[in-house]
Structure 1
């Protein structure tokens, strides 16, 4: 099992009704609370599709961003969602460090230990940045450098350098994916944020904003639309 397939199943499986819960009928199981979409929308397993897309992007050194189009929404009584319509969902999966991001860093930033590559298994080998982008907080009392002085963490705080690196990486992901992303197979895996937002502006000019429904926690403009606001930022 690849690292990405494991991550995708555990991060996005619930929204397609997949769960490790041994009692899926339990009110508090992921299947009940977070099952929003038909796994076999468009007659294609969407988890398998997502894994293949992310693996292709990872192998090309690109960030993990894509849009799953035409997902069939199902009834979810817990959240008051009425199914029977479709939606395009753009997913940003902040897992690992893309090779093309690393290639743009100066050599003295996050250098690899002797005998190691700069990134291995999709993460920095430099101990200070090993948890980027899912930076692990330090426990209370941990000595931290603050403006040249050593202070103790008051709570579970993020160490400055890796947190800043994660911040820079997040901005880079949006910029890198703005005009689209191509996988290792040469196929376009994401059309780009520019395309999405320009489409939004055109739709705004053509249609009036409808009133929101009391039966759902989302605001809909049409039966099928691009859900730009629902970006999955799962920082595991």
Structure 2
């Protein structure tokens, strides 16, 4: 269902309470409409920021990120990072919502300056007053943390890729496709330090006089499996 539903084609479902919330910018209300419409069909929202930007006619993803921050700070949505259960790699994020009509925080009223008794914005010259929400700062810090974490993951993956190339260099033969696939899959489950130990030990096995390793990639696969078992015990 999630793969089939690509977003509402004709109407966006923007509840009245959301549309009338004075704290939200118009773009945030549109983004919520996209999210809420899909949630009503799929129960979860996985559309990327880039796709959202394209649907709403934005040239960059920054307006989308700002809108998501605002919606989350006021309790309209929840964001969660999704990891591959097999190797722990970050593969995306999903958006859910616990919000239901009737639970929007009440907007307090206070007298407006220089207002008349029958001000059109409210009885006895009152205008909406919205208290400051410190959660915005919290969300911004969370986004920064996520970006730093993703950068660290990308850096480690880049280093691990170089280690895999070292295996090829030490083996001096082209790896069979199925064995190389197994090596790459196992490496995704390993930390950089664990993979580095395997590569160093493989290099040592080749050069310490043990003789030629007939099937070097199978040898590496067994070393990786042994290291994964040791990794669990550390």
Higher RCO, 1 vs 2 (CA within 8 Å, ≥6 residues apart): 1
Asked if these proteins are the same fold (TM beyond 0.5), I'd say no
Coarse TM-score class (shorter-chain normalised): under 0.3
Query: Which structure: greater strand fraction?
Result: 1
Query: Which structure: greater helix fraction?
Result: 2
Give the alignment's TM-score, normalised by structure 1. 0.21
- Kindly name which structure, 1 or 2, has the bigger radius of gyration based on alpha carbons: 2
